[in-house]
């Protein structure tokens, strides 16, 4: 298990755990980051990560991406 930030561009992983406080987990859940969901990295610029998840493209900052374990 490793944070989402460790995936290279083009790699795909399955979400295994989401850390952080309740508010952070709820925010990520609303964006589609749910345990068991496939996520692929499209781009990573300056720590910010753009991912494909559930047929959507979502940008999250490095702090949020570090809380998502794949």
pLDDT tens column, 7-38: 999 999 999 999 999 999 999 999 999 999 99
CB 42 within 8 Å of CB 57: yes
Q: What is the pLDDT of residue 35?
A: 96
Mean pLDDT of 1-5: 93
Reported as a pLDDT band with limits 50, 70 and 90, residue 47 is: confident
Q: What percentage of the chain reaches a pLDDT higher than 90? A: 93
- Predicted TM-score (pTM) above 0.95: no
Handedness of CA 31, 35, 41, 44 (dihedral sign): positive
């Amino acid at each position: 298990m490793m944070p989402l930030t460790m995936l290279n561009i083009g790699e795909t992983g399955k979400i295994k755990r989401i850390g952080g406080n309740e508010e952070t987990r709820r925010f990520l859940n609303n964006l589609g980051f749910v345990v068991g969901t496939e996520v692929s990295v499209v781009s990573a610029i300056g720590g910010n990560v753009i991912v494909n998840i559930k047929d959507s493209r979502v940008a999250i900052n490095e702090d949020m991406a570090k809380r998502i374990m794949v």
